[in-house]
Amino acid sequence: MAATRRLSHTVAVITINHPPVNALSSAVRRSLVKEFGDADKDPSVEAIVLSGANGKFSAGADIREFSTSAFKTVPSLEEINGTIEGSRKPVVAAIEGVALGGGLELALACHYRVADIQAHVGLPEVLIGILPAAGGTQRLPRLIGVPAALDMIVRGSRISATEALQLGIVDEVVQNNTIEAAIQLARKVVGRPLDIRRLSAVPVRSPPSIDAFLDAAMEKARRQFRGARAPLACIEAVGASVKLPYSQGVAKERDLFLSLWATGQPQAQQYAFFAERGVGKWSLPTGGRWDTVPPKPIRSAAVIGLGTMGRGIVISLSKAKIPVIALEQDMKQLEQGSKAVNGLLEREAEKMKKQGQTAALGNGLGSVHFTVDFGELRDVDLIIEAVYENMKLKKEIFRRLSSICKPDAFLCTNTSGLNIDEIASVTNRPQQVIGTHFFSPANIMRLLEVVRGRETSLTTIATAMNIGKVLGKVAVLVGNCPLFVGNRMLGPYLDQANYLLEEGCRPEEVDQALEEFGFAMGPFRMMDLAGLDVGWRSRMEKGLTGAKVPAGTPTCQRGGTRYSPLADMLCELGRFGQKSGKGWYQYGEPGGRNAKPDPWVLVFLEMYRSTHQIKQRPVNREEILERCLYALINEGFKVLEDGIASGPEDIDVIYNNGYGWPKHTGGPMYYAATVGLPRVLEQLEKYYKANVDVPNMKPTFLLKKLAAVGGPPIKEWRTQLGNLSNKL
Ligand code: 3H9
C-alpha cells in the first residue's frame, strides 16, 4: 500500500508508505486521493493527520518518474494539494525526517504543520534543474513573505525544524512523538475557521518595490548560477505569486516547469543526482564488490598535520561526532594549528546553535585532543596523515605509524597524487593503507577521492568509503595513478589554457569563455587562487622547469612534447597569484581577491610571442571551449580505459563536486555524450593534427570505439568498457 489510514478516535492518520524516502510516485498519489476521499466521507472523522512511514515525511516527487509516462498520470500532486487544502476537515502534517520538494508542498497544502526537532524541510528542486511545481512557488511566499521564500527556493536550501518554526513554515516543533502531537493539534483545531489557513487564498507579503527586488534577484542569480536556467525560473515563478492570482500563478509555475524540461538541464542534473547515489555501488574493475563488505566501525580518529587540509579534516571528523586526536610535529606548529581549529570549531558550534541543534543533540561536536606525541595514536581506529606533499616525509610517518598503531588500525594518506603503493610499502599492513584525497577547504568541499592501492583490502575500502559518508562527503573510489582522477584530467585542460595564451588569447578571455560555460572560476583565476608556486615547486623538485626554449621555436618542447613555460616564468618573477598580489591577474595587494586584468601580462605575452616568432591569431570562444573541455574529456576516457575510475558517472561526480564543473551540464562525460561523441572525436582529431606534439589531445581508443557505434547513451558505456577490458 502506498498510503495507509488508521483511526485515532476522531482523527484519521494517513501515512505515506513508499520506501526508502516516501517519494510521491503515481501509485502514492492515487492512494492518497483514495485515503483522503474515504476520510472525508467518514462521518466519524473530524480531522486528518498526514504523516510518512519510517520516520520520513516525504522526499518529494519520485524523480525517476519525471521522464516516464507515470509522471503525467493523474492526479497530479498539485491537484492533490488543492483537494487537501480545500478539505472542510482540518488537516495537520506531522513532519518527521524530511519534507522536501513535493513533500514540503504537500505539507504546505495542509492547514497546520508540526515538525520533529530533528526534521529538515526545503524546496531543493532547483538542485535537480527544475522548480517546485506543485504550488510551492505560490504557497511559500504567501506563508513567509517573498524575500525569505525566494532565498529558500533559489538556493534549494534545507533548513532545520527550528529555523522553519522561526520563519513560520511550521506551527510547532516537538522533541518526540510528532504524530501524537499532530493528532492533539488536529483535535484542538476542529471547528476553527480554515480559510485563513488555506495558503492559496492568503495575500502575498512582498517588498514595496517588487520589480526592482526581482530584477536584482535575477541579476544576482545570473552571475551566481552561470548558465543554469532553474534558478531564473524559480524567480519568475515567485514573481508570479505577487503579480497573479493563485490559479494563474500555478499555471505559470507549470509552464516554467515544461520549458525547463525542454532545455535538457533537468535531465543532466537528475543524471548527476543519481550518479552521486550510485558511486557507492560499483564493483572493482579488478573484480570484487567492496560495497557488499561491511565497513569497520570507526570510534576514534587521528589527523597528522594541522595545515589547511589537516584543520579541515579535523573539523569534518568532529562535526561527525568522532573524537579526534590532532597531532603536529612540534609545540609551535601545534599551538598555531590548535588555535585555528578551535576558532573553526567555535564557528561550527555557533552555526549549530542557530539551527537549534545544540539543545537537541548535546554539544553536537566530537572532542578534539591536541598533541605532539605519536604514542597517543596507539589505540586509534583510523589515522589520516595530512602533511604536505612529500614522499620521503610521508613514508617516514607511515613507518612510524606502522610500529605504533594497533594492528587493526587503518592508515590513510591525504595526498592529491602521490603513489599509494609506495607509501603502503613501508608499513606492516599495506592492506589497511588507503588514500583519502580531500579537497580544500576539507570541512566544506563535498568531494573525497578514495584511492585504493594494489594491496588495499575490500574491508579497508568499505571503511574509507563509509567514513566519507559519515563525514557527509561524496566519496568516489578511484585507482592509484599519478594525480588520480580529478587532477589528472585537469592537466590537459590547463595545458590547453596555457597554449591558448601563447597563440593569442588574454587570460581573461579564456576565463570568461569557461565561466560563461558555467565553471565557477576560469583556469587562470583558479591557478591564481591555488597559487602558481605549488605546481612550480613540484616541477622544480622533479627537474621539470627551466625548459630551454630556443628563440624562434614556435612552441616550447620538453622531451618531444609541447610544454608551456609561461607559468614557470611568472613564478621566477615572484608572481604566485593571489598570495603575492600578482599572477595572471593583479590583486592590488598580497592576499587580495579581486582579480583585475594586468596590462603587464599582455606585454609579457607579446614579448614571449615575439621571442618565439609566434604570430598572434584571433581565437574564438568555440575554440577556447573545445580545446580546453575536450582535452579534459579525452583524459577522462583514458582514465576509464586504464580502469582508474569504474565508470563515467564516477568522473562526473568528481568534477561536479570538486572542480566547479557546471552541474546543469551533468559533468564532463555526460556533457560529451550530449555534444555527441562523433563530434568530440572529430574536433579532437582536428586539434591533434595541428599539434601532434600534444599527446594528450590524441583521441583515445575508447572514445573512438564509442564514436564508431554512434556515441551511445552514457548508461551504455559500462557495457562497452566491459568489452574493452576483455580486449586490453
Ligand atoms: C519534486 O518534488 C518536484 C515537485 O515540486 C513537484 C513536481 C510536479 N525520488 O540520498 P539517499 C532515492 S522533485 C526518487 O542515498 P539519504 C535515492 O536515489 C524532488 N528517489 O539517502 C536512493 O535510492 P537508491 C525534490 C529518491 O538518507 C534512496 O532514495 N526532492 C528521491 O542520504 C536513498 O537516497 C529532492 O530533490 C526522490 N525524490 O538522503 C530530494 N529521493 O537506494 C532528493 C531519494 O536506489 N533526495 N531517492 O540509491 C534527497 O535529498 C535525499 O535522498 C534525502 C535522503 C535527503 C531524501
* Share above pLDDT 70 across residues of the chain, in percent, rounded to a whole number: 95
Per the domain annotation, does 453 fall within a domain? yes
Per the domain annotation, does 274 fall within a domain? no
Ligand 1 mean position, distance from CA 161 (Å): 19
Is 108 close to ligand 1, i.e. is its CB under 6 Å away?
Answer: no
The pLDDT confidence band at residue 554, using thresholds 50, 70 and 90, is low
- Work out the number of other CB atoms within 10 angstroms of the CB of residue 236: 18
Query: Which amino acid is it at 135?
Result: G
pLDDT score for 301: 98
The protein residue with its alpha carbon nearest to ligand 1, atom 24, reads 277
Quick one: 605 and 629 in the same domain? no
Per the domain annotation, does 434 fall within a domain? yes
Whether 327 has a pLDDT exceeding 70, the answer reads yes
Residues 6+ apart with CB under 8 A from 44: 7, 10
pLDDT score for 535: 85
Query: Which amino acid is it at 91?
Result: V
Q: Could you read off the pLDDT of 13-53 as tens digits, one per residue?
A: 999 999 999 999 999 999 999 999 999 999 999 999 999 99
pLDDT score for 328: 96
Per the domain annotation, does 495 fall within a domain? no
CATH of residue 684 = 1.10.1040.10
The protein residue with its alpha carbon nearest to ligand 1, atom 50, reads 59
Quick one: 573 and 717 in the same domain? no
* C-alpha to C-alpha distance for 144 and 205, rounded to whole angstroms: 8
Catalytic residue IDs: 105, 125
Per the domain annotation, does 269 fall within a domain? no
Quick one: 459 and 344 in the same domain? yes
Quick one: 575 and 637 in the same domain? no
The pLDDT confidence band at residue 549, using thresholds 50, 70 and 90, is low
- Of 578 and 359, the one with more pLDDT: 578
pLDDT score for 569: 94
Number of domains in the chain: 4
pLDDT (mean) for 103-115? 98
Residue showing cell 577547504: 441
Ligand 1 mean position, distance from CA 177 (Å): 24
Quick one: 653 and 571 in the same domain? no
* C-alpha to C-alpha distance for 285 and 88, rounded to whole angstroms: 59
DSSP lists the bridge partners of residue 100 as 122
Angle at 180 between CA 178 and CA 182, to 5 degrees: 70
Q: Could you read off the pLDDT of 670-708 as tens digits, one per residue?
A: 999 999 999 999 999 999 999 888 899 999 999 999 999
The pLDDT confidence band at residue 205, using thresholds 50, 70 and 90, is confident
464 Rama class: left (phi>0) / alpha (psi -120 to 50) / beta: alpha
Quick one: 450 and 549 in the same domain? no
Is 122 close to ligand 1, i.e. is its CB under 6 Å away?
Answer: no
Whether 555 has a pLDDT exceeding 90, the answer reads no
The pLDDT confidence band at residue 73, using thresholds 50, 70 and 90, is confident
The pLDDT confidence band at residue 358, using thresholds 50, 70 and 90, is low
Quick one: 395 and 526 in the same domain? no
Is 281 close to ligand 1, i.e. is its CB under 6 Å away?
Answer: no
Whether 285 has a pLDDT exceeding 60, the answer reads no
Determine the residue of 62, 63, 72 to mutate for testing ligand 1's pocket, defined as the one with the most ligand atoms within 8 A of the Cβ atom. 63
Residues 6+ apart with CB under 8 A from 345: 315, 318, 365, 368
CA atoms 400, 406, 407, 412: torsion sign: negative
Q: What is the largest CA-CA distance in the chain?
A: 94
Query: Which amino acid is it at 723?
Result: N
Per the domain annotation, does 162 fall within a domain? yes
Residue showing cell 598572434: 616
Ligand 1 mean position, distance from CA 17 (Å): 14
Residues 6+ apart with CB under 8 A from 714: 271, 648, 649, 669, 670, 673
Closest by CA to 93, choosing from 29, 33, 26, 179, is 179
Residue showing cell 524523480: 63
pLDDT score for 461: 95
pLDDT score for 171: 98
Per the domain annotation, does 181 fall within a domain? yes
The pLDDT confidence band at residue 3, using thresholds 50, 70 and 90, is confident
Among 276-285, 465-474, 703-712, where is mean pLDDT lowest? Answer: 276-285
Whether 714 has a pLDDT exceeding 90, the answer reads yes
pLDDT (mean) for 618-630? 97
pLDDT score for 359: 47
pLDDT score for 125: 98
Q: Are 13 and 5 in contact (CB under 8 A)?
A: yes
* C-alpha to C-alpha distance for 167 and 604, rounded to whole angstroms: 55
Is 109 close to ligand 1, i.e. is its CB under 6 Å away?
Answer: no
Closest by CA to 378, choosing from 406, 402, 399, 400, is 406
* DSSP E strand stretches across 328-464: 368-371, 382-385, 410-413, 433-438, 447-451
pLDDT score for 426: 98
Whether 726 has a pLDDT exceeding 60, the answer reads no
Per the domain annotation, does 281 fall within a domain? no
Is 102 close to ligand 1, i.e. is its CB under 6 Å away?
Answer: yes
Ligand 1 mean position, distance from CA 59 (Å): 5
Residues 6+ apart with CB under 8 A from 628: 493, 496, 497, 500, 510, 514, 523
Among 126-140, 219-233, 282-296, 613-627, where is mean pLDDT lowest? Answer: 282-296
Is 72 close to ligand 1, i.e. is its CB under 6 Å away?
Answer: no
Is 62 close to ligand 1, i.e. is its CB under 6 Å away?
Answer: yes
- Ligand 1, closest atom to CA 134? 6
Ligand 1 mean position, distance from CA 316 (Å): 24
Quick one: 21 and 165 in the same domain? yes
The protein residue with its alpha carbon nearest to ligand 1, atom 44, reads 21
* Share above pLDDT 90 across residues of the chain, in percent, rounded to a whole number: 84
The pLDDT confidence band at residue 727, using thresholds 50, 70 and 90, is very low
As a whole number, the mean pLDDT across the chain is 93
pLDDT score for 74: 74
Backbone angles phi, psi at 440, to 5 degrees: -90, 135
Helices 486-503/523-530 angle, 10° precision: 120
Q: Could you read off the pLDDT of 150-203 as tens digits, one per residue?
A: 999 999 999 999 999 999 999 999 999 999 999 999 999 999 999 999 999 999
Instruction: Map 77-127 to HEC letters.
Output: HHHHHHHHHHCCCCEEEEECCEEECHHHHHHHHCCEEEEECCCEEECHHHH
Query: Which amino acid is it at 250?
Result: V
* Domain limits for position 598: 505-611
pLDDT (mean) for 261-287? 86
CATH of residue 303 = 3.40.50.720
The protein residue with its alpha carbon nearest to ligand 1, atom 41, reads 59
Among 13-17, 197-201, 286-290, 523-527, where is mean pLDDT lowest? Answer: 286-290
